[in-house]
Chains A and B, each alone.
Chain A
Amino acid sequence: MTASGIILADGRGQERRRDRGAAARLLRRLPLSAWLAAAILIAYVGTAALAPDISPFSPTEIFVGSPFQPPDNVYWLGTDNLGRDVLSRVLYGSRTILLMAGSAAAISAVLGGLIGMFLGYRPGIIDEICMRALEIVMSIPSIIFALLIVGIVGSSGPLVSVTVGLLAIPNVSRVMRAATQSVAAEDFIAAARARGETSLSIVLREILPNVAGTLIVEFSIRTGYAILFIGGLGFLGFGAAPPTPDWGLMVNEGRGAIDASIWPVAAPAICMAVLVTAVNLFTDGVIRILGPADTGRTA
């Protein structure tokens, strides 16, 4: 009893030290494509952070040039229908999309992760009821509800983020619940319970480190979906409110006059496609080193 107690007591420290070595080993196995994707993502984040410093013009100031100017050495990507500089709008747009999609994915990962871990840790009637409730929420087509909420309340960036984030909670919860269930049966969980730790502390200190990989994968997957989802809402005119430099909104505003200039549409479209490609490649790489995950398109 005492002997096992000693092992349990310093078992956690041991685990953690071994984890650090394992993390380095895992990173070495990350495929080249994922490193490339990570570099692209860092470039996007850098662009978003430095947008005010590197943009040649204000993203919202109209008639800095005449409308629909083709690209030249002043307006590198030309100007849009209101004579705004497309390059500046695209650069600032990386800020909008990363903030919106990042916070949406964070909302679904944090809340979905917590719900999933608690449900997986504590099977029983509550778990059963919650799973049914989550299934019902998942049977609601997300885009329709995002449209309803944003359309009725009015376009605003934070509202879109929260809505998109909340709508993905069931997907994350299900995956995290399954991951937790396989951990919850382990001896060290029983040991923690025997030590008298509270459920909250067991979930956060014992389970979370063991399902963190799955959670990272989920966050990554949700970021990719959120970018496409928020882009789509922006395109439909239900994303960030004009004149925010939002890529989806830019595509929407530019497509009516695509014959006059293709750049106001092409630039944000290409930026969005490259960003999602990078997120997807990165996710694939992380899945490969952390084990399989359900990557079904359910959003």
Chain B
Amino acid sequence: MRVDPIFRLIVTRMTLSFVSLFAVSLIIFASIALLPGDTAERILGRDATKQSLEALRLQLHLSDPAPVRYGRWLSGVVQGDFGRSLVADRPVLPYIESYLGRTLVLGGLALLVHIPLSIGLGLLAAAKRDGPVDIGMSIAVLIGMSVPEFVVGIFLVVFLATDLRLLPPLALIDQARSVWDALAMLILPIVTLNFAMTAYVVRQTRSSMIDVLRSDYVRMAQLRGLSRSRVLLVHALPNALAPAINAIALNASWLVGGIVVVEVVFNYPGLGRLLVDSIRFRDVPMIQGTALVLSATYIGVNLVADVLTLLLNPKLRTRLA
């Protein structure tokens, strides 16, 4: 029986994701457990008392060899037990669940804005090629690529929230009284994330649109007297989308890392900020849990993006088959 090559490719890709996830769990554990120095002392600092060091060693089972601890941690994680937070002295899992949910909401909304916005702008730049709109846009693209997202975020807060009082400065999402309140708080983080992501997709869409617009069949359509917008949207765009989709896929996986910084800028209670905070407090079980779940999200997003790119891109499909 012949197996569909695409199906086989997807299965290979999924297997690779699982191997990655396993490798990531190993690296996360090792980066905390195998670093030089006494783990308990590193967590509590130099001026910790003997008793507190001893208690921590007992709690984290530090007398066991590292492979045993890794096995215990991993089997716990598989069963949904991420251990207890050292700072809050509560199970890690409920924290991760609620913080992950908020990160996914922010990331999902940012992506929802990103796709039509960046493709639309790329289309516009290609349609008005070499005109003032196009030139202005390529300058904006360059700036978007070059200004760090934390700088964009801080200045958005200063000008829009503090000076003009248009939007709430910090995403105190728990205090939101309604859905609209919550959305208003999400606007600035979403704008910041899009500022960083848009440039690359606009560039890709623009250059592939310009290529397609040069081709004979587009010229044919123009000669047949079809309206310009019809030629652009119905005839040219579908064939110019593949590089844009590729770029969006890359952005989607960038987003998982980029969101960490943006969450800190806006004080947004998501998984990225939880990771940064727990590293500051040296809350090892929380660090391990958040790092693992964030990495798993990243790997998952990459997997979905790869499979979608594969399914949506006929050229790639035939080349691989």
- Chain A residues near B (Cβ < 8 Å): 132, 135-136, 139-145, 147-149, 151-153, 224, 228, 231-232, 235-238, 248, 251, 255, 258-259, 262, 265, 269, 272-273, 276-277, 280-281, 296-299
Contacts and interface: CB of A to CB of B under 8 A. Distances in A.
Contact of A152 (B32, B154, B158, B256): B32
B95 interface: no
A297 B251 contact: yes
A13 to B, nearest CB: 40
Nearest to B297: A141
Contacts of B17: 139
Contacts of A281: 142
B261 to A, nearest CB: 5
Given A141-B257, A235-B150, A148 B299 contact: no
B154 A145 contact: no
A151 B19 CA distance: 26
A140 B260 CA distance: 14
A141 B298 contact: yes
A237 B264 CA distance: 11
A36 to B, nearest CB: 12
Nearest to B17: A139
A269 to B, nearest CB: 4
Contacts of B154: 251, 255, 258, 265, 269
Tell me whether chain A's interface is mostly helix, strand or loop, or mixed: helix
A154 B82 CA distance: 25
Interface in B122-164: 142-143, 145-151, 154-155, 158, 162
Interface in B285-305: 287, 291, 294-295, 298-299, 302
B35 interface: yes
B23 A136 contact: yes
Contacts of B87: none
B249 to A, nearest CB: 10
A151 B143 CA distance: 30
25 contacts: A136-B16, A139-B17, A141-B295, A144-B260, A144-B294, A144-B298, A147-B276, A151-B287, A152-B279, A152-B287, A228-B148, A231-B148, A232-B148, A236-B261, A236-B264, A248-B148, A251-B151, A258-B158, A269-B148, A272-B151, A276-B145, A276-B147, A280-B145, A296-B246, A296-B250
A232 B261 contact: yes
A235 B148 CA distance: 10
Task: Select the residue from A135, A141, A145, A248 with max chain B CB neighbours within 10 A.
Answer: A141
B44 interface: no
A39 B253 CA distance: 34
Contacts of A145: 27, 31
* Across the A-B interface, the 3 shortest Cβ-Cβ residue pairs: A151-B279, A139-B20, A143-B257
Given A139-B24, A258-B162, A280-B146, 11 more contacts: A135-B16, A140-B20, A148-B32, A251-B150, A272-B148, A272-B151, A276-B147, A277-B146, A296-B200, A298-B250, A299-B254
Nearest to A255: B154
Interface of B: 16-17, 19-20, 23-24, 27-28, 31-32, 35, 42, 142-143, 145-151, 154-155, 158, 162, 200, 246-247, 250-251, 253-254, 256-258, 260-261, 264, 275-276, 279-280, 282, 287, 291, 294-295, 298-299, 302
Nearest to A151: B279
Contacts of A135: 16, 20
Given A147-B279, A232-B261, A236-B276, A139 B298 contact: yes
A260 B41 CA distance: 39
B274 to A, nearest CB: 12
B275 A144 contact: yes
Task: Select the residue from A144, A231, A248 with max chain B CB neighbours within 10 A.
Answer: A144
A254 B40 CA distance: 33
B146 A297 contact: no
B150 A232 contact: yes
Nearest to A143: B257
Contacts of A280: 142, 145-146
B151 A140 contact: no
Contacts of A259: 162
B280 A151 contact: yes
A297 B302 contact: no
A140 B27 contact: yes
Contact of A262 (B27, B158, B276, B294): B158
A258 B159 CA distance: 11
B260 A147 contact: yes
B158 A136 contact: no
Nearest to B302: A139
A142 B257 contact: yes
B279 A273 contact: no
B86 to A, nearest CB: 14
Given A262-B158, A277-B143, A148 B279 contact: yes
A144 B250 contact: no
A18 to B, nearest CB: 32
A151 B31 CA distance: 10
